[in-house]
Structure 1
Amino acid sequence: MKNLPIYMLALIAGISLSIEAALGGALGENIGKLESTYYIFVVGALSLFLGVLFFGKGDLTQVFKVPKWTLTGGALGVIYLSLLIISVTFVGVGLSITVVIIGQLFTSIVVDHFGWLGTKRISIDRNRVIAIGLLLLALVFI
């Protein structure tokens, strides 16, 4: 399986996301939910700044030349993390992440189907619909 290293990276990302949700929820209970989101982004930005400074190979000046709609990811990240932290404090990490995954999968399938946002077109098929159905079923059990 030639993509195994990529799958492992994605798995680590998922593990990190669940741990971040739990930490953010706990922090949010103590300092406030939006304050927790802010803190996480500040620490993340500082950490990433060091990563870019020492290991970055791109060209940040290109940010002024790209289509403006491609710059909205930062705002979506704030919305995502804020809402995740809020939901974790009410329903827990497992249920919150399950619902996040359902939302991600459904939206990803629609984006792929229509080729939105510069993605490759991949049609919705029976397997993808079944996958969403099974995740909805998992939500009932979690």
Structure 2
Amino acid sequence: MLKFFSLPAVLAAISGAAMAVQGTLNSQLTQKTSLLSSTLIVHIIGSLIALLAVLAWKVPMFGHKWLQIPWYLYLGGALSVGIVALVAITISRIGVCNATTAIILGQVGLAVIIDHFGLFGVQRISWNPWQLLGLALFVGGAKLLFK
């Protein structure tokens, strides 16, 4: 139970709340512009902020062996573009609650699989019957949230 209230768990919950706000803002921006242009602008702004943070905290960029890192670890940037676009589309069509519920359901479902098999180099954490029950209850709860 202590893990549930730990600092990493609280920070993750804050991140989730920020994602709901981000998705809403991106959806509204898309409605006022277009899907691809809003996705591009959002990523340009995010890249500039990341660059400023790297410069402000003097994070070394050239000491890493970038070419020795497995290629698939760079796919997060491509996934980010797809995520921003899909969230912007779905929120405007099914609402913030329904879209966020579906997003979290997809995240948790795949997260259990990633942990269980230790995919992408993460520590392998086998699922147990309680997790599977929790996932089933989560699916049931998600069904109740959908309007």
* TM-score past 0.5 threshold: yes
Q: How does 1:96-111 map to 2 (within 5 A)?
A: 96-111=99-114
Q: Report the TM-score, using the length of structure 1 for normalisation.
A: 0.90
Q: How does 1:39-118 map to 2 (within 5 A)?
A: 39-60=41-62, 61-118=64-121
Please name the residue that 2:40 is paired with: 38
Greater CA drift, 59-68 or 86-95: 59-68
Q: Tell me the CA shift for residue 45 of structure 1.
A: 0.7
Instruction: Summarize the Cα distance change of 1:56–1:62 in structure 2 as closer, same or farther, 3 Å threshold.
Output: farther
Deviation sequence 1:71-126 (CA, Å, 0-9, x none):
11111111111111110110011111111111111111111111111011111211
Q: Report the TM-score, using the length of structure 2 for normalisation.
A: 0.88
Please name the residue that 2:21 is paired with: 19
Q: Any stretches of 5+ residues in structure 2 without a counterpart? A: none
Report the Cα distance in structure 1 between the residues aligned to 2:66 and 2:134, rounded to whole angstroms.
36
Q: Tell me the CA shift for residue 56 of structure 1.
A: 4.7
Instruction: Summarize the Cα distance change of 1:110–1:89 in structure 2 as closer, same or farther, 3 Å threshold.
Output: same
Identity %: 27
Report the Cα distance in structure 2 between the residues aligned to 1:131 and 1:140, rounded to whole angstroms.
14
Report the Cα distance in structure 2 between the residues aligned to 1:5 and 1:51, rounded to whole angstroms.
22
Q: Tell me the CA shift for residue 131 of structure 1.
A: 2.0
